[in-house]
Amino acid sequence: MSELSRAALLAQLGADTQWDVVVIGGGASGLGCAVDAAARGYRTVLLEAHDFAKGTSSRATKLIHGGVRYLAQGNLPLVREALAERALLLANAPHLVHPQRFVVPVYRWHEKPMLGLGLGLYDLLAGEHGIGPRRVLDAARTVAALPTVRPSGLRGGVAYWDARFDDARLALCLVRTLFGLGGCALNYAPVDGLLLEAGKVVGVCAHDAESGAAFALRARVVINATGVWSDAVRRFERPHVAAALRPSQGVHVVVGREFLPGDDALLVPKTTDGRVLFAIPWQGRVLLGTTDSARTDMPLEPHALPGEVDFILATAARYLLRPPTPADVLSVFAGLRPLAGSGQGGSTAGLSREHAIEVSPGGLVTLSGGKWTTYRRMGADAVDAASAHAGLPGRASCTATLRLHGAPAGPCADPYGSERAQVDALPGAARRVHEGLVLSEAEVRHAVRSELARTVEDVLARRHRALFVDAALAQAAAPAVAALMAAELGRDARWAAAQVQAFSALAGAYRLG
Secondary element (H or E) of residue 152: none
What is the Cα–Cα distance from 79 to 465, expressed in whole angstroms?
Answer: 29
pLDDT digits (tens, 9 = 90+) for 452-493: 999 999 999 999 999 999 999 999 999 999 999 999 999 999
Tell whether the model's pLDDT for residue 357 goes beyond 50: yes
Instruction: Looking at the structure, tell me whether residues 214 and 308 fall in a common domain.
Output: no
Is residue 71 included in any domain, yes or no?
Answer: no
pLDDT of residue 354: 82
pLDDT-derived band at 74 (thresholds 50, 70, 90) equals: confident
**DSSP structure class, residue 461:** I
Instruction: Looking at the structure, tell me whether residues 206 and 254 fall in a common domain.
Output: no
Tell whether the model's pLDDT for residue 246 goes beyond 90: no
pLDDT of residue 346: 42
Dihedral sign of CA atoms 122, 125, 131, 135 in order = positive
Strand 245-255 relative to strand 285-289, pairing: antiparallel
Phi, psi of 321 (to 5 degrees): -60, -40
Q: What are the start-end ranges of the H helices in 274-331?
A: 308-317
Is residue 225 included in any domain, yes or no?
Answer: yes
**What CATH number is associated with residue 18?**
3.50.50.60
Mean pLDDT computed over 65-84? 89
pLDDT of residue 353: 56
What is the Cα–Cα distance from 485 to 497, expressed in whole angstroms?
Answer: 12
Instruction: Looking at the structure, tell me whether residues 251 and 237 fall in a common domain.
Output: no
Instruction: Looking at the structure, tell me whether residues 368 and 397 fall in a common domain.
Output: yes
pLDDT-derived band at 61 (thresholds 50, 70, 90) equals: very high
Tell whether the model's pLDDT for residue 406 goes beyond 70: yes
Instruction: Looking at the structure, tell me whether residues 193 and 313 fall in a common domain.
Output: no
Is residue 273 included in any domain, yes or no?
Answer: yes
11 near 209, Cβ under 8 Å? no
Instruction: Looking at the structure, tell me whether residues 268 and 154 fall in a common domain.
Output: yes
pLDDT digits (tens, 9 = 90+) for 260-290: 999 999 999 888 877 889 999 999 999 999 9
What count of residues does the chain have? 513
Tell whether the model's pLDDT for residue 436 goes beyond 60: yes
Pick from 258, 156, 187: nearest CA to 26? 187
pLDDT digits (tens, 9 = 90+) for 123-142: 999 999 999 999 999 999 99
Question: Over the chain, what is the mean pLDDT?
Answer: 94
Pick from 163, 166, 227: nearest CA to 371? 227
What is the Cα–Cα distance from 149 to 170, expressed in whole angstroms?
Answer: 31
**DSSP structure class, residue 432:** B
Instruction: Looking at the structure, tell me whether residues 253 and 271 fall in a common domain.
Output: yes
Instruction: Looking at the structure, tell me whether residues 356 and 440 fall in a common domain.
Output: no
Mean pLDDT computed over 202-209? 98
Mean pLDDT lowest among 93-97, 111-115, 202-206:
111-115
Over pLDDT 70: what percentage of the chain? 97
pLDDT of residue 272: 82
**What CATH number is associated with residue 142?**
3.30.9.10
pLDDT digits (tens, 9 = 90+) for 140-176: 999 999 999 999 999 999 999 999 999 999 999 999 9
Over pLDDT 90: what percentage of the chain? 89
Instruction: Let me know the angle formed at the C-alpha of 36 by 30 and 38, rounded to the nearest 5 degrees.
Output: 100
Tell me the residue type at 187: N
Longest dimension (CA), the chain: 71
pLDDT of residue 349: 43
Instruction: Let me know the angle formed at the C-alpha of 380 by 206 and 29, rounded to the nearest 5 degrees.
Output: 45
Instruction: Looking at the structure, tell me whether residues 238 and 250 fall in a common domain.
Output: no
What is the Cα–Cα distance from 308 to 237, expressed in whole angstroms?
Answer: 37
pLDDT-derived band at 215 (thresholds 50, 70, 90) equals: very high
pLDDT-derived band at 95 (thresholds 50, 70, 90) equals: very high
Secondary element (H or E) of residue 159: strand 156-165
Instruction: Looking at the structure, tell me whether residues 369 and 492 fall in a common domain.
Output: no
pLDDT-derived band at 410 (thresholds 50, 70, 90) equals: confident
Pick from 90, 50, 88, 10: nearest CA to 379? 88
What is the Cα–Cα distance from 76 to 78, expressed in whole angstroms?
Answer: 5
pLDDT of residue 144: 98
pLDDT of residue 2: 60
Between 97 and 270, name the one with better pLDDT. Answer: 97
pLDDT-derived band at 342 (thresholds 50, 70, 90) equals: low
Tell whether the model's pLDDT for residue 508 goes beyond 60: yes
What is the Cα–Cα distance from 37 to 276, expressed in whole angstroms?
Answer: 35
What is the Cα–Cα distance from 288 to 227, expressed in whole angstroms?
Answer: 24
For residues 143, 146, 152, 153, the Cα torsion angle rounded to the nearest 10 degrees is -80
Instruction: Looking at the structure, tell me whether residues 270 and 330 fall in a common domain.
Output: yes
Instruction: Looking at the structure, tell me whether residues 233 and 358 fall in a common domain.
Output: yes
3-state helix, strand, coil in the chain (%, to 5): 40, 25, 40
Residue 425 exposed, middle or buried by CB count within 10 Å (0-12, 13-18, 19+): exposed
Is residue 193 included in any domain, yes or no?
Answer: yes
The parent domain of residue 177 ranges over 6-56+169-243+349-401
Is residue 407 included in any domain, yes or no?
Answer: no
pLDDT of residue 417: 98
364 near 194, Cβ under 8 Å? yes
pLDDT of residue 73: 81
pLDDT digits (tens, 9 = 90+) for 183-199: 999 999 999 999 999 99
Mean pLDDT computed over 300-316? 96
Is residue 431 included in any domain, yes or no?
Answer: yes
Is residue 489 included in any domain, yes or no?
Answer: yes
pLDDT of residue 452: 98
Between 432 and 15, name the one with better pLDDT. Answer: 432
Is residue 279 included in any domain, yes or no?
Answer: yes
pLDDT digits (tens, 9 = 90+) for 439-453: 999 999 999 999 999
Count of domains in the chain?
3
Strands (E), 432-506: none
Strands (E), 270-354: 277-282, 285-289, 293-294, 331-340
